[in-house]
Structures are given as structure tokens and as C-alpha cells.
Amino acid sequence: LAVKDPTAVERANLLNMAKLSIKGLIESALSFGRTLDSDYPPLQQFFVVMEHCLKHGLKVRKSFLSYNKTIWGPLELVEKLYPEAEEIAASVRDLPGLKTPLGRARAWLRLALMQKKMADYLRCLIIQRDLLSEFYEYHALMMEEEGAVIVGLLVGLNVIDANLCVKGEDLDSQVGVIDFSVYLKSDDDIGGKERNVQIAAILDQKNYVEELNRQLNSTVSSLHARVDSLEKSNTKLIEELAIAKNNIIKLQEENHQLRSENTLILMKTQHHLEVSKVDVEAELQTYKHSRQGLDEMYNEARRQLREEAQLRQDMENELVVQVSMKHEIELAMKLLEKDIHEKQDTLIGLRQQLDEVKAINVEMYQKLQVSEDAMKEKNEIISRLEDKTNQINATMKQLEQRLQQAEKAQMEAEAEDEKLKQEYVNKSESLQNEFSQKEKQLLQLETDLKIEKEWRQTLEDDLQKEKETVSHLRTETQEIVNLKKEFLKLQEKNKQLKGICEDQEAALQELASKLSESKLKIEDIKEANKALQGQVWLKDKEATHCKLCEKEFSLSKRKHHCRNCGEIFCNACSDNELPLPSSPKPVRVCDSCHAILIQRCSSNVP
């Protein structure tokens, strides 16, 4: 078997109950009389059924101290959607006997039925389902199609005239229980189907007439509003027309004055024009003579300016060429200096070698003079030295050849320098073009960078604001948490105080019962005292024995003296005790008069 949705079953049951209650109310009203009061049972059952329908699927709204689940919230929303409902809401709020939201909702339903606009109000409410979702669950009756069906059924209640007294009725404490015995069928109901059909036809006709009357009232109200607006606009136009006529008269007078002034001004201007024409003709002749001389001076100055501009342009071009030549000469000089330094290094090395050879020759000459005797022995050494000199001469020839080659290389380098100069000129022009392009790119990048900096600054400001809001929200959440903790502590303290208060009330009840008993005993004692007034106390020396047991007083049997009757008893005989609130221990009482006994020392005790 397929499992049915329990919420769908609940909605179907409530819809059927609404149908039965509305149908029974209309039929009973037509048979009983169309004007109903608040004590009519079918009308009471109808309000109970409507209350159950509005409560179905209602969300539990959390308040500060408890949970709230009432239908007054969505009904209060009707005055924002339907302006005519503001009167009902205001009158419900002003009722003095209503204390709970449920009582206000019940009063609202009764007033809406008396106005015959309950269906219109609830239709406006179920249309705005996005607002109803704040109060109802998604499966509630008012959120589904059953709500629209119930609103359509409520239109039939417009045939009933209800006269309900809401002010003196206790709506807060009513118990909403549906009486199903009212809706059970009987034999009489089966026999009255034809009558019900006739009644239904009459009701349909009445509903049509009332709907037509309502539309005509709306059109009449709109026409009245249009007539009022037209009358207001007509009065405004009449006032504006009178003001315009006055303005036209004033303007005509001003126009006449201005025309007279204009004629005077024309006469004066004509006279001035005749005088000024003579002056202008004389000035024109002088201007023509001066204009010719000025034109000649202007042409000569313009020719000189052109010549000077051409000379300046030529000088600037020559200056640019000289600057470029200077840069090229400086580069060539640097390259030549590098080559000269290298050649000087090579020459210095060759000179050092020549100095070494000269030093060797000097030493050999000295050795020849010193060792003439050893000439023969050292002929071989001389021959070797000659070989070395030959080698040195060969090296000298080689060095001379290298010098010639270096000079040729220098000539080739100079030719290459000229080529490099030409290439450098071409490269400098291309570099200048690239430099101008780079400058343009740099300017564009700087503008982009400024824009990005401004954007970043705005983002940082927004981020700072968001951080401040987050910190503010965190502080608020922390305060809410602290308030919750304090609220829990206060609840615990409240429970403890309630326990202490209950204990104290129990103790007070016990003390009250004991005090009532003690008051009764005190009143008895007072009455005994009045009876025993005038008696004299016995002296301690004469009282040696107890009045009751007639035993002698001692340390174990102490004396107890009655204030009223004067009798003296021992502690064994005076066992009657009475609790007093002023003393922590109970007091002993006299057996005869019930007065308080005073303990006395015996005669043989110091």
C-alpha cells in the first residue's frame, strides 16, 4: 500500500470540515434568520474551524523569553496589503479586554465576518506567498491549493448578516474544540434537499447582486474622486486665469511705456548716427593712409622673420650634425687609445728584451777582457753566444715584421672605424625612434599605474570598512552571548530564590500555626490571671515542700514559682511546657493557672 503524506491528509480533513461548517452555517442561518449573534452554535463552530485552518503549519517564532505560535502575525499583515483592513486592525488593538495575540486574532475574524470581507482579506494574504513563508511551513494549508478553495467558500458567507459583540466577550481564554455531532446527517436533512437547492439558487442571486453592488460602489467612489480632482483643477485654473488677466493688463501698460521710450531713443540714435557718420568717414581716410604703411612694415617684418627662422633651422641642423660627429670622434678616440696602449705594451716588452741583450753583451765584453787567458777554453761558449745573437737578430727581424703587420692592421682598423661610425649613425637614429616609443609606452604605463593605485586604494578602503563592520558584528555577537550567559545565570538564581521562597513560606505556615496555638494558651493564661489576682506569693523560707508531690526541695528538685497564683512547684511536677517565639527553648507553665513559672534557687543552695 502507498503511504500517504500526513500533512496532505490533515489539509484534506480541514478542507472537508471547512466545507461542512460553512454549508451548515449558511443553511441554519437561512432557516433561523439571516442576522446572527455571537451565541449561535454553528457560528461558534465556524470560528473554531477557521482557527484550526489558520493554525495548520504555523511556524514557531522565537521571542526573547519563550516560543510564540499564534495566527495574529499573518492576520496583522493584511492591513499592509489591503488598506481597508487598517480600520479593523486599529479597532482590535484598541479593545481593552484583549491581552493575548490569539484573542486579537479571534476578534479580527469576527469583525471581518461582520464587514463581509473575510474572503477578500484572506485572498490578498494567500496571493503573497513569499510573505506567508515567514509565518507558515511550505506544507501548510494556507500555502497550498486548499487555502484558495477555502477562500472561495468564504465568499458564500456574504449572504449572512452577523451582529457580534466583541467588546465584552472573553476571547483570550476560549477553548477551540470542534463539535463533530453537529455535522452528522439525519433523516430530516435527506428530505430537505429540494429546499436546499432553492436556497442555493437564492443565495447565488444574492451573491451576484452584492458583487454587482460592490463594483458599482467602487466605480461611484472613483467617479467622485475624479469629480473632486476636476473641481480642484477648475478652481486652480480660474485663479490662474484671473492672475494672467492682471498680468496682461500690467504688460500692456509696460508695453505702451516702452514704445514711447523707444521712439525717444530712436530720435536720439538717429542724431548720434548722423554725427558719427561724419566722424567715421574722416577716420576711414586716416585709417586707409595708415593701413598702407602698416602693410609694408608687416610684409618686411614677415620676410625678416622667415629668413631668421630659416637660419635658425640651419644652425640647429648643423648643431645636431656636429654633436653626432663629436660623439663619433670620441668613440673613435677611445678605440684608438685602446690600440695605442696595446702597442705601447708590446714595444715596452721588446725594449726590455733589447736591454737584456745589451746587458748580456756588456757582460760578455767584460768577460772577454777579464778572461783573455781563457779565450781558447771558451770559444765554444762564444760560438753559442753568436748563435744566440743570431737568434736574437732573427727575433728582431720578426718583431719588425710584426710592427709592419700592426701598422697595416691599424690602417684596416681605421677603415673599419669609418664603417662603424656610419653604422653607429644608423643605429642612433633607430635608437631615438625606439626611445620615443618607449617614452610613450612609459607614459601609458604610468597612467595605468595611477589608475590601478586609485583602484587599489578604493579596494583597501572598502576592505577596511568591511573589517570594521565584521569587528562590530563580532562585538555584537559577543554581547549577545554574554547576555545569554547572564540570562541563564539569572534563571538559575530565580530557581534558587523560588526554592528558598517556598521553604520560607512553609516555615511561616508552621510558625503561624504554632503562634495561633500559643495565642490561645496565652489568652487562657490571661483569663486565669484575672481570676487569681489579689493572691500573695509564699516566701522562700516558708516554702520547703512541693505543692503537688509534698517532697522537700533540693538540688535535684528545684523551685519553680508561678507569677499569678503564687504556687511553688518542683521541676518534676511542672512538666507543662509552652513554645514561645521570643525564647529558643519552651517555658514551663503552672498546672493550675497555666502562667509561666520562674525558677528559683532552694534555700539550702547559695
Per-residue model confidence (pLDDT) at position 188: 55
User: Which domain, by its residues, includes 79?
Assistant: 6-183
161 touches 32 (CB < 8 A)? no
Q: What is the mean pLDDT of residues 211-235?
A: 88
CA atoms 36, 39, 45, 50: torsion sign? positive
Minimum mean pLDDT among 102-106, 152-156, 207-211, 380-384: which range?
380-384
Query: Could you tell me if residue 383 is inside a domain?
Result: no
Query: Could you tell me if residue 282 is inside a domain?
Result: no
348 touches 340 (CB < 8 A)? no
Per-residue model confidence (pLDDT) at position 603: 38
Kindly provide the residue ranges of all beta strands, DSSP E only, lying in 261-385, ordered along the sequence. Answer: none
Minimum mean pLDDT among 62-76, 162-176, 444-458: which range?
62-76
> How many Cα neighbours within 13 Å face the side chain of 474?
6
Instruction: Considering only residues 229 and 343, tell me which one the structure prediction assigns the higher pLDDT.
Output: 229
- Domain with 115 in it: what CATH number? 1.20.58.900
- Domain with 581 in it: what CATH number? 3.30.40.10
Residue 605 in this model has a pLDDT that exceeds 50:
no
Q: What is the mean pLDDT of residues 556-580?
A: 62
Boundary-marking domain end, from 155, 183, 211: 183
Query: Could you tell me if residue 324 is inside a domain?
Result: no
Number of domains in the chain: 2
Boundary-marking domain end, from 159, 183, 207: 183
46 touches 21 (CB < 8 A)? yes
Query: Could you tell me if residue 260 is inside a domain?
Result: no
Per-residue model confidence (pLDDT) at position 192: 59
Please write the tens of the pLDDT for every residue from 440-469: 888 888 888 889 888 888 888 888 888 888
Per-residue model confidence (pLDDT) at position 164: 81
Residue 58 in this model has a pLDDT that exceeds 60:
yes
Q: What is the mean pLDDT of residues 405-414?
A: 82
Per-residue model confidence (pLDDT) at position 606: 28
Residue 36 in this model has a pLDDT that exceeds 60:
yes
Per-residue model confidence (pLDDT) at position 540: 66
Instruction: Considering only residues 534 and 101, tell me which one the structure prediction assigns the higher pLDDT.
Output: 101
Instruction: Categorize the per-residue pLDDT at 566 as very low, low, confident or very high, splitting at 50, 70 and 90.
Output: low
Minimum mean pLDDT among 107-111, 175-179, 340-344: which range?
175-179
Boundary-marking domain end, from 183, 209, 233: 183
For residue 242, what is the DSSP state?
A: H
Instruction: Categorize the per-residue pLDDT at 248 as very low, low, confident or very high, splitting at 50, 70 and 90.
Output: very high
Prediction pTM value: 0.35
Query: Could you tell me if residue 525 is inside a domain?
Result: no
Query: Could you tell me if residue 26 is inside a domain?
Result: yes
Please write the tens of the pLDDT for every residue from 469-496: 888 888 888 888 888 888 888 888 888 8
Cell of 471: 569587528
Q: What percent of the residues of the chain are helix, what percent strand, and what percent coil, each to the nearest 5? A: 75, 5, 20
Query: Could you tell me if residue 155 is inside a domain?
Result: yes
Number of Cβ atoms within 10 Å of the Cβ of 19: 15
Closest CA to 37 of 156, 205, 161: 161
Query: Could you tell me if residue 455 is inside a domain?
Result: no
Per-residue model confidence (pLDDT) at position 215: 87
Minimum mean pLDDT among 155-164, 418-427, 512-521, 558-567: which range?
558-567
Instruction: Categorize the per-residue pLDDT at 249 as very low, low, confident or very high, splitting at 50, 70 and 90.
Output: very high
Residue 67 in this model has a pLDDT that exceeds 50:
no
Which residue type is seen at 476? E
**Per-residue DSSP letters for 65-126?**
SSEE--SHHHHHTHHHH-GGGHHHHHHHHH-TT--SHHHHHHHHHHHHHHHT-HHHHHHHHH
